[in-house]
Structure 1
Amino acid sequence: MAYELRRDDLEPLLLGGAFFGSGGGGTIESARHLAAHFNIGDYYSVDTVKVVPVDEALEGDAVMVAYLGAPQAINSAAYPFGPVQAALAVQERLASQSRKLAYVVPPESGALGFVVAVLVAAKLGLAVIDADGAGRAVPSLPMLTFAAAEINPRPAFLVSQNGLSVELDVKPRNSKNGDATHQRDVSTIVEQMMRPVVADPEFGQFGGLAMWVMAPDEVARATPIRGTITRALELGRVIGRGQIRNVTELIDYLAECCNINARMVSRLGRLVSAKVDTTSGFDVGKVIIQSGEQTYTVIYQNESLIAWDSERAQPIVLAPDSIAYFVGGNGQSIFSNGDLVQENGRLNPEIGERPVTLIAWPAMTAIQKPGLALDSFMVLLNSLGYLGPYVAVSSSRKESESE
């Protein structure tokens, strides 16, 4: 059922989105910065947005809208100028074809992805579809269900915060959308074209992206992962009310309310380092958690991709499975990779000596099964030095220690 999302809902939405983002999906800081400016005034004419389930999105076309680039670079944005202008370019193109843009779709689960979709919809008088392309955040376009569904990649607009618009025109061969093999090539080529663009000084490591225009029947095919905005909003509300006080309560909530079989994959530890290098529109780095003599290392490229345990020869978690941090004690409990490190390179003092635990759960079936998304994750894992097969976290040995 459709419902109205209000300004006060953005804080729980971004917190829940950050948890489900697997360390990525934009920083909580950047999402909060954008949310803080969501007021009726010179930029926004409304402060509510309609959220619509997939089966009710029948009044026009939809488009995936997002920020593309390095999360740390996006932290300074107060208004989503780039994504709004990219969506407006799509809207104008559709109008020239006597078509109507009615909806925006988040690319992925994440604090920034959800907030940007809501704000673009608010600015342009559209609704947001309660679904996304992965159920977690991902580092590249071929990992999203829109690519797997072979949605036409044209038009695709990338727009800087200063209004420089670049249209990426990659035309599939043989048919309107290209076959599955060619769709893989198209998504990869578009990705490879965009990264150098956002790295240009005019873009400053990020830009607004609008891509994958979908008619109602295509939305249904391209978004098998549904209800993710509502899922994030409800988790954020529960966390905000202080009803989840430790890892055990969080895991119980995920099982009972989200049908997610999550588990602790680390013992209680302390965050000792988080290194990041921003290049070509990615924050690349590693997070190290120390628990006695045991060391846990998370390797990420915007999103967390591999988790290692110093006492084991194989990784304890592999993408596309999700990896999240839970920080115990008083204060904020959810953090993305980008929120762990300040601009000066120092660890976020809000975490300090508080206990940190890694939680993991299996990926949604749509991106876990053999196909374009899983293949794309494996190519990325190979580039990070992992040359073995994908092994779902549900089949790994459980190691946990309750608080």
Structure 2
Amino acid sequence: MRELNKEQILNICYGATFLGSGGGGPFKTGQNLVGPLSTTHGLLGLSTAVESLIEKSLGDGNTAIVQTVDEVSDTDGLTAMVAFMGSPDAMLKFDSIDPAIAAFDKLNEQFDNNIGHVIPVEVGGLNSIVPILVAAQKGIPVIDADGAGRAVPSLTMTTFSVADVPSNPAILAKSADFGTSIFVSTAAEVEAFARPVLAVFGEEAGLAMWVMDKALLDQAVPIRDTLQLAENVGAILTSSAGKPAEETINAILQMLSASGLAADIVFSGIMQTPETKTQGGFDFSTVTLRNENNDEVWIYVQNENLLVWNPQTTTAMITAPDSICYLCVKEDGSVIPFSNADIEPLGIIGQKAYTIGITARSQLQTGTILNSFKKSLADFGFRVPYRPFPQ
């Protein structure tokens, strides 16, 4: 068990935005939730963030409690997943965790107020931060693990789904007075019911589901210590100002390698204006990077990055479930992470950006999770074999 202070949570926001493979909620919204902190980071104008929700959520203690899976005990209650769900572009308007609190409260009521821990669904600049703040506000720990080790387009692409954690009930909430309970059997059915409901909620809502005792938690989350990894990566990013960009990027690659994750640069170039449409709670887009030789890559996106295509050679350079992560080099040399929803709001267009590939966790490389990613790729017209990156 350990405590997180405000600066550590900010580091998690930076690191999780990078690790989220272009998704997991906008970094800009994560900023607004973290609020203006009196730190030296300031890379994206955190001092001008609208609210200081971290102070509200953490109270006078200014810390949040994190537990490992091994430290969880049934005597402390059940564990539930808490997240935001919907279109990342719509989530840019979020400046409150109230929808996630409302979803958690309604779910907790159905389990006789016996939920004593929360856990992230994925890694991302928003969906790693929300469970931390919900846990802090409720006075319970957040678990250092998640269902994918990256952000994913669908609940079916998580280890919670593969472990057959009961999806009944799933609570989707816009506020304490505006939400719905979904009584179905599988994550796929939750997706089928939730996506149309999100249209009523403005394409974004709080989500709480997957209630587990300790035995089921052990089975459902083999991907662990992801908040710690995000914090470590974030610490590199928040101290990058004044350093050569190559030094920062190499430090991140070395950090990932030390954590057992193979990673390398896929491509770097100037960010072009994305083509985006929102439908059914998803942002579908094509992102283009162009280098000084006028070579391009096209990144295909369903909330998260799914594939980098080289039109010069008509080949896929990297495909999901491997992560395709973003970094941008600012004019002062600092290196910042961003998600697809952040590209226009944070002024990434016209800036130099890197795509970094990270080999997927082994749990994502086989079976139903891999097949779910293949289906998403097929929806874009790509039927390519999965070859772990880097090759």
Q: Residue 367 of structure 1 aligns with which residue? A: 364
Note the residue ranges of structure 1 that are not aligned, 5 or more in a row.
Answer: 172-185, 343-347, 396-403
- Backbone CA RMSD of aligned residues: 1.9
Offset at 1:248? Answer: 3.0
Other-structure match for 2:158: 144
In structure 2, distance between residues paired with 1:306 and 1:359: 12
CA positional deviation for 1:39: 4.6
- Asked whether the equivalents of residues 195 and 280 of structure 2 are also in contact (C-alpha less than 8 Å), the reply is yes
Q: Helix, strand or coil for the counterpart of 1:273?
A: coil
Deviation, structure 1 residue 255: 1.5
Corresponding position of 1:326: 327
Kindly indicate whether the alpha-carbon contact (under 8 Å) linking 1:296 and 1:307 is maintained by their aligned counterparts in 2.
Answer: yes
| Cα pair 1:86 1:208 within 8 Å, conserved | yes
Counterpart of 1:177 in structure 2 is none
- How far the C-alpha of 1:384 sits from its partner, in A, is 0.9
Distance 2:123 2:235 in 1: 16
Give the match for residue 71 of structure 2.
56
Which of 128, 132, 142 aligns to 1:118? It is: 132
Q: Does 1:392 align with 2:391?
A: no
- CA gap 1:165/1:45 in 2 versus in 1, 3 angstroms: farther
Partners in 2 of 1:356 and 1:367 — Cα distance?
A: 26
Corresponding residue of 2:264: 263
Q: Deviations over 1:290-314 (max 9, x none)?
A: 0113111111111000111122222
SS at match of 2:189: helix
Which residue in 2 is equivalent to 1:107?
A: 121
CA distance in 1, matches of 2:237, 2:301: 25
Letter in 1 for 2:69: V
- CA distance change for structure 1 residues 72 and 145 in 2, over 3 Å: closer, same or farther? same
| Residue number in structure 2 paired with 1:199 | 199
- 2:42 — aligned with what? none
The 3 A distance-change label for structure 1 pair 134 and 244 is: farther
Displacement over 3 Å in runs of 4+: 39-47, 351-354
Query: In the alignment, what sits opposite 2:353?
Result: 356
Q: Does 1:11 align with 2:1?
A: no
1:137-166 alpha-carbon deviations (Å, 9 max, x no partner): 000011010000011111210001463120
Instruction: Pick the aligned partner of 1:166 from 150, 157, 180.
Output: 180
Over 3 Å counting, the alpha-carbon distance change for 1:43 and 1:393 in structure 2 is: closer
Structure 1 residue 389, shift from structure 2 partner: 2.2
Matches within 5 A, 1:3-402: 3-36=2-35, 37-41=52-56, 47-58=62-73, 59-95=76-112, 100-161=114-175, 163-171=177-185, 186-200=186-200, 203-242=201-240, 245-246=245-246, 247-256=249-258, 258-266=259-267, 268-291=268-291, 292-329=293-330, 330-342=333-345, 348-349=346-347, 351=348, 353-369=350-366, 371-395=367-391
Contact 1:264 1:359 in 2 (8 A): yes
Asked if structure 1 preserves the Cα contact closer than 8 Å seen for 2:128 and 2:227, the reply is: yes
What is the deviation of 1:46? 5.3
The alpha carbon displacement at 1:277 in A equals 1.6
* Shift, 1:252, TM fit: 2.5
Structure 2 unaligned blocks of 5 or more: 36-51
The one-letter code sitting in structure 1 at the alignment partner of 2:97 is P
Deviation at 1:392, TM superposition (A): 1.7
Contact 2:57 2:134 in 1 (8 A): no
Asked if 2 retains the 8 angstrom alpha-carbon contact of 1:284 and 1:302, the reply is yes
8 A contact 1:45–1:123 mirrored in 2:
no
- 1:230-263 per-residue CA deviation (whole Å, 9 max, x = no partner) reads 100111112212278323333223223x222111
Residue by residue over 1:263-303, the C-alpha shift from the partner in whole angstroms, topping out at 9 and shown as x without a partner, is 1111x311122222222211211110001131111111110
CA distance in 2, matches of 1:12, 1:364: 22
Compute the TM-score of the two structures, normalised by the length of structure 2: 0.89
Distance 2:238 2:147 in 1: 26
Q: Name the amino acid aligned to 1:167.
A: S
Q: Which amino acid letter does the alignment assign opposite residue 257 of structure 2? A: A
Percent identical pairs in the alignment equals 32
Map Cα deviations across residues 212-233 of structure 1 (whole Å, 9 max, x no partner): 0000111111000000001001
Any idea what SS the aligned residue of 1:112 has?
Answer: coil
Aligned in 2, Cα 1:19/1:223: closer, same or farther, shift over 3 Å? same
Give me the whole-angstrom Cα distance separating, in 2, the residues matched to 1:116 and 1:92: 20
Q: CA deviation at 1:8?
A: 2.4
Quote the Cα distance in structure 1 between the aligned partners of 2:275 and 2:350: 18
Does structure 1 retain, via aligned residues, the 8 Å contact 2:15–2:233? yes
Q: 1:75 to 1:306 in 2, by over 3 A?
A: same
Q: Give the C-alpha shift of residue 92 in structure 1.
A: 1.2
Instruction: Name whichever of 206-215 and 46-55 sits farther off.
Output: 46-55
- Return the offset for 1:126: 1.3
- State the alpha-carbon separation in 1 of the partners of residues 343 and 15 from structure 2: 17
Aligned equivalents of 2:56, 2:336: Cα separation in 1: 33
Post-superposition shift, 1:22?
0.3
Contact 1:18/1:336, CA 8 A, preserved across alignment: yes
* Equivalent pair of 1:136/1:322 in contact (CA under 8 Å): yes
